[in-house]
Homo-oligomer: A and B are copies of this chain.
Amino acid sequence: MTTEQLKEPITHPERSELELAAVLHALSDPVRLRIVAALAANDDERTCGSFELPVTKSTCTHHFKVLREAGVIRQRQEGTTRLNALRRDDLDARFPGLIETVLRAA
């Protein structure tokens, strides 16, 4: 986590602002699908580093940003730690069955 990232405000689209094309784009990457599957597997918030992904830290940070900006995950800062959670309720409300269907196909 760089100083820049700590200073950058964490913004999220509202549920009503979620767009299908943006959500599909966020899901259209094998690493991001893996992140979403892991977040869906339990309700806990997780740090970027806890996923053991085959990518560099900055690529990982990028993937989380894409997921957050599309409204797929919610991020919050706790000290120097950024915690990530799936916005399951928002996604299920806007696009019923989508996350479940995608994860079953993954």
Contact = CB atoms under 8 A, between A and B. Distances in A.
A63 B105 CA distance: 24
Interface in A74-106: 94-98, 101-102, 104-106
A21 B104 CA distance: 13
Given A21-B30, A28-B24, A94 B98 contact: no
A20 B24 CA distance: 11
A38 B29 CA distance: 26
Interface of A: 20-22, 24-25, 27-30, 33, 94-98, 101-102, 104-106
4 closest A-B pairs by CB: A25-B28, A24-B28, A95-B105, A101-B101
